[in-house]
Amino acid sequence: MLQFAVPGSPRSTPGSGGTIAGLKRTAELGLTAMEVEWVQRVPSNTEHIEHIGKVAHDLGITLTVHAPYFVNLNSREPEKLLASKKRVLHALTMAEIMGAVSVCVHPAFYLTHDQKDTYEHVRRATQSILKQKKQFFPNVNLAFETMGKHSQFGTLEEVLTLSQEFDIYPCIDPAHLHARSNGALNSVREWNTMFDQYTQALGKKSLKNMHLHFSGIAYGPKGEKHHLPLQNSDAKWKDFIAVLAEKKVGGVCVCESPLMEDDTLLMQKQYDIFN
Ligand SMILES: [Zn+2]
């Protein structure tokens, strides 16, 4: 089963729009998943996080998490690298307490380093984070995201190789890949190839439980500029949903449109045509 997720509390959440109220609003809208956006910082109040998890569970809402943006697993400054690893570990640990299934992470920037060298550094950092898995986040997946800018580590090949190596699964963002390639990855044929690459790396069953992002996107020669509403972009989003349905992709697809729940519902409605 594929669930479409809002990227944080819906815009139509009444009051100050906290996560608990956002979960209730999500359920009211008929949606069944939310990505909790810990992109600035990860909370540390375990009681509150447990409570969020319980409310989500009672409402039948599946949770994923977006880890902080301030992460660079390719940093050559020991303090910065350690801080990055700690942020990722903290997000995974709190996600476990909350009952989330997967945490997406923007892995790294190349800076002045080449792809191979960067990969090796990200690999080592990943290894050290995953050493803590058993103790702190046994049920949560570490999902490295495919990234939209040329300066960012995170091609499809990179996140697949890394995920295969550590028996985890990535966060596939086809909009980022569309932007990164300056306009490719926007057709049934190309998405089929992308999913073929995915299953070649992670196995046939891997499509049953994916962590996906999707949105419209503005881009240029250096890749991603910013996200766009589905209907104000060149994204062939209806075709993408047809591919998801045809391939029987399962898991969570977060709609990262600036219109938030409006576009999440649009995707859900389109998907429901096939079921
Ligand atoms: Zn992201």
Query: What is the C-alpha end-to-end distance of the chain, expressed in Å?
Result: 10
Q: Is the pLDDT of residue 25 over 90?
A: yes
The CA 170 to ligand 1 mean position distance, Å, reads 11
| pLDDT, average across residues 76-82 | 98
pTM over 0.85: yes
Measure 108 CA to ligand 1 centroid, in angstroms: 12
- Phi first, then psi, for residue 64 (nearest 5°) are -125, 170
The 10 Å CB-count burial string (b at 16+, else e) for 228-258 is bbbeebebbbeebbbbbbebebbbbbbbbbe
CA of 66 to the centre of ligand 1 (A): 7
pLDDT tens column, 84-129? 999 999 999 999 999 999 999 999 999 999 999 999 999 999 999 9
Summarised one tens digit per residue, pLDDT across range 156-170 is 999 999 999 999 999
User: How far does residue 199's CA lie from ligand 1's centre (Å)?
Assistant: 22
Question: What is the distance in A from the centroid of ligand 1 to the CA of 36?
Answer: 12
Please give the domain boundaries of the chain with CATH numbers for all domains.
Answer: 2-272 (3.20.20.150)
Ligand 1 centre from 104 Cα, in Å?
Answer: 7
Q: State in Å: Cα 63 to ligand 1 middle.
A: 15
C-alpha to C-alpha distances, 234 to 5, 69, 167, 212, 270, nearest whole angstrom:
21, 26, 34, 19, 17
245 CA distance to ligand 1 middle (Å) = 23
- The Cα 182–Cα 185 span in angstroms is 9
215 alpha carbon, distance to own chain's centre: 12
